[in-house]
Amino acid sequence: MKSTKAQAARWLSRLIHKEKIDMKDEKIHDETFLFTVEGFCEQKPVFFICRDEEGLQFGYHSFKEIDPSRPAPSKVKRHLIEWEMLESGSREERQEKILNTLVSTIRSRKKQYRTCQYCSLKFPPEQRFNQKTCQNCAPSRSHAVH
């Protein structure tokens, strides 16, 4: 399995080549590109880069329910690179800036994950019952009325 940074770099260079996301496009409003991290945990973390009027927004998808087929994810924004900042650099500098921001978004999100003491799977905070237990394994779950 390739490192997350290598995965991200490959995805990003294709995206810049195809969609030119490193440049502002007056016709484009709120265009979102999704990046899925492979090999980190059971339910693969999803990150996004959104091109809007301000610049490029970076963030991740948050699923409240462990079963991802049920709800729509909520988008959590973490970083913004403004167009002014981005377009002042060369093509290589732009690509590097975008990659570094994406990778740091992924790193800080990964740090939020904890392994459940019962099922040994990794979960983000919104899917945990407490620091050590996921929602699936939470003791109160068997008594919960649905």
The site for Zn ion (CB under 5 A) is made up of 116, 118-119, 134, 136-137
Between 34 and 119, CB nearer to Zn ion: 119
User: How far apart are CB 116 and Zn ion at their closest, in Å?
Assistant: 3
Between 10 and 132, CB nearer to Zn ion: 132
Between 28 and 119, CB nearer to Zn ion: 119
User: How far apart are CB 38 and Zn ion at their closest, in Å?
Assistant: 21
User: How far apart are CB 119 and Zn ion at their closest, in Å?
Assistant: 3
φ, ψ of residue 2 to 5 degrees: the values are: -70, 155
Of 71, 31, 64, 84, nearest to 135 by C-alpha is 64
User: How far apart are CB 120 and Zn ion at their closest, in Å?
Assistant: 8
Between 13 and 117, CB nearer to Zn ion: 117
Between 6 and 119, CB nearer to Zn ion: 119
User: How far apart are CB 144 and Zn ion at their closest, in Å?
Assistant: 15
Residues 6+ apart with CB under 8 A from 14: none
The answer for 123, left when phi > 0, alpha when psi is -120 to 50, beta otherwise, is: beta
